[in-house]
Amino acid sequence: MLRPSPFLRAARTLSTFLRPHLAGLAGAALTMLLVTGIHLARPLILRELIDTALPARDAGLALRLGLAFVGALALGAGALYTRAVLLAGVATSVMARLKGAVFGHLLAQDLRFFDGHPPGKLISRVENDIEQMRGLVSGAAAQLAANALLLAGITVLTWWQAPVLGRWLLLVVIGGGVAVAVYARFIRQLWHEVRERDSEMAARVTEFVQGVSLLRLFGREEAAVERVAAATRSRTDLEARGVFYDAVLFYGGFTFLAEIGGLAAVLWYGTGEVFAGRLTVGTLVMFLELLRRFFGPLRDLAEVFVALQSGLAATGRVFGLFDLRPEGAGTGLVAGDQGTTGGQPVPPGAAAAASSVLPLRVAATAGGGQTGAAVAGGSGLVPVPSRFREIAFREVRFAYGAEPVLHDLSFAVRCGQRIGIVGASGSGKSTCINLLLRFYDPTAGAIEIDGCDLRAFDPRAWRRKVALVLQEIHLFPGTVMENLKAFAPGIHDGRVLAAARELGADRFIRRLPAGYATVLAERGANLSLGERQLLCYVRALVRNPDLLILDEATSAVDAVTERRLQQAMERLMAGRTAVIIAHRLTTVVAADRILVLERGRLAEAGTHAELVGRPGPYRTLAAMQGLDLGARAGRRGRRERRADRAAARPAQRPGPALSAPAAA
């Protein structure tokens, strides 16, 4: 969307990033003044040479003027070089901080935001758009300012020497300015569109690369290449159009006519004045020289203009991100702005500050549930109780989009309890977890911790108490050790080793090529599924959470691995408050309470024994999975639970490691 005054908005936000570089910018401004002065001085020197030194045949003066002319040239070149170096330095540093701030701000967004923005597009925002802005900061904007300064200087100098010519020049400057401004409004939309297609292309490339094995399986590589090529073509066509318009306007149209007209006018008026004795030859030459300099920058604008408009469009897109409110900003009950919607601009300062809290620890989502650097929080939020007594869903309603997913869902999890959630695919089990971790907030109703609305707490502080093992396994590029620590600094290696031993993962990790220092590929691609799952359990245990949430993976592993994983899971849950989403009912047979969800509603709840003791969806499910439906089921469940807890005692010898060739 086109912003009302992108230049001003961009300048305002940019100024917060530029503030630490005032010295460098002042230096650049100084060199700019110097260059402009030199540009203006050279025609004046020329006039002195023609009007004074040559008629008087004064060789000494001619030499001095000649030296001054050459010296001015050299000084100008030096000043230009200095300006370029200074600005490049500023731009590099500003872009680096800007990238940090934008990335931090992105991570702080509500998960809804990510539902609607594919990774490729976001990468394009952080990378390409900010790189486009570099040209704006280091080149185009400076060039524009230098040219404007020079045009103003020439106009003033001409006016001073010959008011009639000066007035004409002023007319040309104003007319040109208006024409350029009108044109800029028109062309900016086009550049915005070019940037938009850039990001679409990045999105496609990302998706195809991520799904490369699938592409290969279906033999669709050529189609993927063609789709990316088509996106490239449409973008290039658009860009070519922009460049063409610029060329027509700046080379062929406006500047061309103005230059010819200007030259004719100066020659006609100037020679008349020389004949009448009111103007010296030197002054006429000076005017012609000034005029040449006047149109040079105007023509240069064509090149600057592309960079400028493209950079401005990129700036609009990047700074548009700062208009997004970070997660929880509009829902914090205590913050007092509940119910507000739409873009509350985040002060750029806040965004800049976010960039300073951006080390890798943000990359801890799956095992830690810890996201984002700039999550709204801090002031006005209730401290999370050090040990909660009860978590309660109270008539929670929720929809991702228009379709409701949860309907008036109410249940409670008391400290120390183990709660199982079962239900058909799509019944809303994972959604409950999303709400519990405040990845999303309920549409109606509330989740309460000891009677206090979850939205009143700092989401980051709350998530620190929780460990999450997700349905989708996620490991980050880095070593096994780093992953097990979820990149959190300050965790001792010993704690990780103890956790790995406790869950029987130590032996398999030590068998990896570099043990705990083995570098994992993206998403843990160089491990088997069972191994990845086990690492996720260890990662959760390292957090020593108050609340453990397990979203059981449906993916099939062999029977031996499954047994090992079950054991590890049992040990992980021992003595903790746990919410387990289960697909295999054996996982929840021992739970204190089992909730059965049906299309977002609580269909029934109770212990395994209670639920199999009466007809209902759970009993049907249990029968389908071949579970014992007899009255002894409950007792068996409890016995099994006791046995499992005994097995999970820390004194227990570590279980055998996963079989190396576990199912992939």
If one asks whether residue 430 binds ligand ATP (CB under 6 A), the answer comes out as yes
Residue 284 vs 422, nearer CB to Mg ion: 422
Residue 128 vs 434, nearer CB to ligand ATP: 434
If one asks whether residue 405 binds ligand ATP (CB under 6 A), the answer comes out as yes
* CB 429 to Mg ion: min, Å: 5
Residue 253 neighbours by CB under 8 Å, 6+ apart? none
Q: Which stretch binds Mg ion (CB under 5 A): 255-263, 402-410, 422-430, 646-654?
A: 422-430
Is the torsion defined by CA of 181, 183, 189, 191 positive or negative?
negative
Burial class (CB in 10 A: 0-12, 13-18, 19+), 56: exposed
User: What are the Cα distances from residue 305, in Å, to 135, 191, 248?
Assistant: 11, 11, 12
User: What are the Cα distances from residue 129, in Å, to 105, 196, 238, 280?
Assistant: 15, 10, 17, 53
* CB 201 to ligand ATP: min, Å: 24
Q: Which stretch binds ligand ATP (CB under 6 A): 22-30, 226-234, 397-405, 472-480?
A: 397-405
Tokens of 183: 């044109």
If one asks whether residue 555 binds Mg ion (CB under 5 A), the answer comes out as no
> Cα–Cα distance between 394 and 410 in angstroms, integer?
5
Interface size with ligand ATP, residues (CB under 6 A)? 13
Q: Which does 426 bind (CB under 5 to 8 A by kind): ligand ATP, Mg ion, none?
A: ligand ATP
x-marked contacts with ligand ATP along 289-328 as a string, rule CB under 6 A: ----------------------------------------
Single-letter amino acid, residue 565: L
Residue 410 neighbours by CB under 8 Å, 6+ apart? 392, 393, 394, 395, 396, 445, 602
* CB 114 to Mg ion: min, Å: 17
Name the residue number minimizing CB distance to Mg ion. Answer: 430
* CB 142 to Mg ion: min, Å: 53
Residue 201 vs 470, nearer CB to Mg ion: 470
Tell me, what DSSP letter sits at residue 584? S
Report the SS3 class of residue 326: coil
Q: Shortest CA distance to 191 belongs to which of 308, 107, 284?
A: 308
Q: Which does 400 bind (CB under 5 to 8 A by kind): ligand ATP, Mg ion, none?
A: ligand ATP
Q: Shortest CA distance to 65 belongs to which of 88, 79, 45, 40?
A: 45
Binds ligand ATP by CB under 6 A, chosen from 471, 479, 518, 586: 471
Tell me, what DSSP letter sits at residue 401? S
Could you give phi then psi for residue 122, rounded to 5 degrees?
Answer: -70, -40
Q: Which stretch binds Mg ion (CB under 5 A): 20-28, 204-212, 390-398, 425-433?
A: 425-433
* CB 91 to Mg ion: min, Å: 46
> Cα–Cα distance between 257 and 51 in angstroms, integer?
31
- Measured over all CA atoms, what is the biggest interatomic distance in the chain, rounded to whole angstroms? 125
Rg (CA), the chain: 35
> Cα–Cα distance between 146 and 114 in angstroms, integer?
41
Q: Which does 5 bind (CB under 5 to 8 A by kind): Mg ion, ligand ATP, none?
A: none
Q: Determine the angle formed by the axes of helices 281-322 and 348-355, rounding to 10 degrees.
A: 70
> Cα–Cα distance between 51 and 60 in angstroms, integer?
15
Q: Which does 427 bind (CB under 5 to 8 A by kind): ligand ATP, Mg ion, none?
A: ligand ATP
In DSSP terms, which residues pair with 453 in a beta bridge?
Answer: 448
If one asks whether residue 371 binds ligand ATP (CB under 6 A), the answer comes out as no
If one asks whether residue 426 binds ligand ATP (CB under 6 A), the answer comes out as yes
* CB 194 to Mg ion: min, Å: 40
If one asks whether residue 443 binds Mg ion (CB under 5 A), the answer comes out as no
Residue 386 vs 425, nearer CB to ligand ATP: 425
Neighbours of 626 (CB within 10 A): 9
Bridging pattern class, strands 577-581 and 547-551: parallel
Q: Which stretch binds Mg ion (CB under 5 A): 77-85, 348-356, 423-431, 649-657?
A: 423-431
Binds ligand ATP by CB under 6 A, chosen from 331, 431, 528, 587: 431
Q: Which stretch binds Mg ion (CB under 5 A): 331-339, 426-434, 592-600, 643-651?
A: 426-434
Residues 91-120 that bind ligand ATP (CB under 6 A): 115
Residue 430 vs 518, nearer CB to Mg ion: 430
Burial class (CB in 10 A: 0-12, 13-18, 19+), 527: buried
Residues 49-68 that bind Mg ion (CB under 5 A): none
Binds ligand ATP by CB under 6 A, chosen from 4, 401, 451, 490: 401
* CB 149 to ligand ATP: min, Å: 53
If one asks whether residue 427 binds ligand ATP (CB under 6 A), the answer comes out as yes
Rounded to a whole number of angstroms, the distance between the first and last alpha carbons of the chain is: 46
Tell me, what DSSP letter sits at residue 655? P
To 10 degrees, the CA torsion angle through 637, 639, 645, 651?
-160
Q: Cβ(578)–Cβ(418) under 8 Å?
A: yes
Q: Which stretch binds ligand ATP (CB under 6 A): 14-22, 175-183, 426-434, 531-539?
A: 426-434
If one asks whether residue 429 binds ligand ATP (CB under 6 A), the answer comes out as yes
Q: Which stretch binds Mg ion (CB under 5 A): 11-19, 428-436, 457-465, 510-518?
A: 428-436
If one asks whether residue 5 binds ligand ATP (CB under 6 A), the answer comes out as no
Single-letter amino acid, residue 284: L
Binds Mg ion by CB under 5 A, chosen from 232, 234, 430, 555: 430
Residue 43 vs 428, nearer CB to ligand ATP: 428
Where does this chain bind ligand ATP (CB under 6 A)?
A: 115, 400-401, 405, 423, 425-431, 471
Instruction: Enumerate binding residues for Mg ion (CB under 5 A).
Output: 430
